[in-house]
Structure 1
Amino acid sequence: MKSANTPTHEQTLCLPEEPPGDVTAGLDWARDDHAVSVVDHRGREIDRCMIEHTAEGLRALLTFLARNNATEVAIERPDGPVIDTLLDAGITVVVISPNQVKNIRRRYGSSGNKDDRFDAFVLADTLRTDRARLRPLVPDRDDTIALRRACRARKDLIAHRIATGNQLRAHLRNALPATIGLFKDIDSDIALSFLERFDTQDKLDWLTPTRLGTWLRKQGYSGRTSSTVLHTKILAAPRGPEGDFATALATITASHVAVLRTLQAQTRTLEKHIDQQLTTHPDAHIFTSLPRSGRVRAARLLAEIGDCRSRFPTPEALICLAGAAPSTRQSGRIRVVGFRWSCDKQLRDAVTDFAADSIKANPWAAHLYQQARTRGHDHPHAVRILARAWLTIIWHCWQDHVPYNPSKHRALQPYLTPENKAA
């Protein structure tokens, strides 16, 4: 793999030493309206206003900035209609995270009060004073942003499906205990089909091993558990209500099942859409080459890392944003190394998900993970250690626009068998 200093890497974008026009602006984002502040080169607020979150309000924002010759705006979030409006107008946008703003606010007073107009001033003044540590926002390509939103939407649907499955399980403990644990997953196709057909204790009582076996064959059941074993589980479980009360509870069961069916269908639709988006993305070959990355996992990694190479000038920048590096605090002889809470949670989830599964296909990854466990780290910590190592490799591949090649991964070679090396 190429060195991090090869000329193929894009240079980091920096702000000019002095703001154009000697003014900087800050915008505090809210749902319905936004506070805007403009400060001069001495840190004095020279103008402020409130704009509504409407098309007319965004046009007024551009007019306000032009009137004050402000071409740089600090803001707390990196996307949305306001960001699009500013970038389309050629205005430099600098993102300062809410955590940073919370800490910087202490410069201006110890009360800790929160006020949108004051935060807009803090953002503008921070853009004036901390220019060397800030970077202008360079947005990802539209196809990368669309892929990111599709991946996050799929993740949200899965979270809803898990929550609905838990609600269904809690309901069945009282309505139909025999169906809990009958199949591996309560939201699997076979489990939902079973609940649609046998939604009361009376219908379960009708079953025999032969009748259950016949029904399972019609459903194309591929599980290894025989109908006799499944029927024994049904008989051994506590009985549910019968009669009219059971029928009333079955209506609730049907509602949960219908929601799960819908979530499953929409998740599959999104996965097909994600697969199509990934196929046409120019960086797809980098992330699909990683071990056990698959399609959806590769898409998540690509989407969360993005396509703007200048955003991460070093592997450490990517590692820290992903929360894979510990946070170190030192004062005198006291040194504390702890979990990094401030990071991109979506990126960390995507990277740790990949790293945790990579140990099944990559012996180098499995060795690093096992070493961490041997040192006494729990599973999440060991996965983060492995994720940190993987991010260095991913960064080099990403910066050089090349796929991951196991034969060029030197650290992997000692763990490969002769057969794998030959392949």
Structure 2
Amino acid sequence: MTPTLPETLELQALTRQRADHVEARVAAVNQLAALLDEHWPGGKAVFASLDSDIALAFLDRYPTPADAARLTAGRLEAFCKRHGYSGKRPGSALIERLRTAPAAASRLGRTVITRLVGVQVQLVRSLRVTIRELDAAIAEAVKTHPWAELIAGLPRIGSVNLGQVIGEIGPMLERANGCAQLAAETGAAPVTKESGKHRQVNFRHAVNRRARQALMTFADNSRHDSDWAATIYNNARSRGKRHPHAVRILARAWLRVIWACWRDRTCYDPAIHHTTTKINTVEGLT
């Protein structure tokens, strides 16, 4: 068996580390939110996204309720302009969020709260930086991958998701005997158990979960930019399938396309790979 390409393993390593850092960022933002709930609820209420540039800059400048005690709508609006705030809320609306937030019940001193908030903000910001660095590295690695161009034209795949698909599904493509095996290993196909007249179809748990996530992310995004994908998804929903099930059915259809591109060494072309026949075939999938 031919070993997995080093370029594929490199993409796998980069995208897995990115996923770990995204998970760490979510955890860090949740910790920051909990910290603010306890010691500075107003700091959490002003901006919609707590890990945005403007929210982190606000917490740098106003880490405690005491620091924001004399803040006015005009001063807050000027602060937003200095930091390139892209939201459309005026200073009066933002200050109203701050004033109507619950009062802090903390018994800690101002110095300690400043330190706690500052350290957590620094953690969130550093994780955002590493994720951007990994995004750039993945985009560069995708450009030079030997067979990335085969599926780079898939609708709404993006460089990061393309790297995930190549890194996680690529090794399976290199050893798979057919699309059915690929669907099973990625979790796009269910498990069917039969005994006599009894037949049971269940969700497949024993799979490469990172591969399944990469594939499902792409499939779900694709339906917003491909009529073919939207038709398959919507038809599945009309048959009573829940959203995750409908996405898996669509993912299985996309695997046929990806497999054909890989097998024939042909770049994705919707005129070739999307036909009424294929939609009708997918209609029978469970």
Question: Is the contact between residue 201 and residue 241 of structure 1 (CA under 8 Å) also seen in structure 2?
Answer: no
Is 1:389 the counterpart of 2:253? The answer is: yes
Corresponding residue for residue 59 of structure 2: 195
Corresponding residue for residue 369 of structure 1: 233
Report the residue type matching 1:283 in the other structure: W
Map 1:301-340 to 2 at 5 A: 301-306=165-170, 309-340=173-204
| 1:360-394 CA-partner distances (Å, limit 9, x unpaired) | 10112112212222222222111111111111111
Partners of 2:211 and 2:106 in 1: how far apart? 49
- Structure 1's unaligned 5+ residue stretches are 1-136, 416-423
| 1:85-136 CA-partner distances (Å, limit 9, x unpaired) | xxxxxxxxxxxxxxxxxxxxxxxxxxxxxxxxxxxxxxxxxxxxxxxxxxxx
- Structure 2's unaligned 5+ residue stretches are 280-286
Map 1:201-350 to 2 at 5 A: 201-240=65-104, 245-306=109-170, 309-350=173-214
Q: Relative to structure 1, is the Cα distance of residues 268 and 410 closer, same or farther in structure 2, using a 3 angstrom cutoff? A: closer
Runs of 4+, deviation exceeding 3 Å: 241-244, 307-310, 412-415
Identify the structure with the greater strand proportion. Answer: 1
Identify the structure with the greater helix proportion. Answer: 2
Corresponding residue for residue 152 of structure 1: 16
Question: Is the contact between residue 175 and residue 246 of structure 1 (CA under 8 Å) also seen in structure 2?
Answer: no
Tell me the CA shift for residue 334 of structure 1.
Answer: 1.6
Larger RCO (CA under 8 A, 6+ residues apart): 2
Tell me the CA shift for residue 309 of structure 1.
Answer: 4.7
Is 1:180 the counterpart of 2:180? The answer is: no
Tell me the CA shift for residue 292 of structure 1.
Answer: 0.5
Corresponding residue for residue 34 of structure 2: 170
Partners of 1:189 and 1:412 in 2: how far apart? 47
Q: Relative to structure 1, is the Cα distance of residues 413 and 376 closer, same or farther in structure 2, using a 3 angstrom cutoff? A: closer
Partners of 2:229 and 2:173 in 1: how far apart? 25
What is the count of residue pairs matched by the alignment? 279
Q: Which is further off, 293-302 or 247-256?
A: 247-256
Aligned-residue Cα RMSD (Å) equals 2.1
Identical aligned residues as a percent: 37
Partners of 1:306 and 1:315 in 2: how far apart? 13
Corresponding residue for residue 10 of structure 1: none
| 1:323-371 CA-partner distances (Å, limit 9, x unpaired) | 0001111111221111001111111010001011111101121122122
Corresponding residue for residue 351 of structure 1: 215
Q: Normalising by the residue count of structure 2, what TM-score does the alignment of the two structures yield?
A: 0.91
Is 1:161 the counterpart of 2:25? The answer is: yes
Report the residue type matching 1:172 in the other structure: L
| 1:69-95 CA-partner distances (Å, limit 9, x unpaired) | xxxxxxxxxxxxxxxxxxxxxxxxxxx
Partners of 1:392 and 1:139 in 2: how far apart? 23
Partners of 1:394 and 1:274 in 2: how far apart? 20
Partners of 2:56 and 2:203 in 1: how far apart? 40
| 1:150-198 CA-partner distances (Å, limit 9, x unpaired) | 1100010000000111111111111111132432321111111111111
Question: Is the contact between residue 324 and residue 348 of structure 1 (CA under 8 Å) also seen in structure 2?
Answer: yes
Question: Is the contact between residue 44 and residue 50 of structure 2 (CA under 8 Å) also seen in structure 1?
Answer: yes
Partners of 2:265 and 2:94 in 1: how far apart? 52
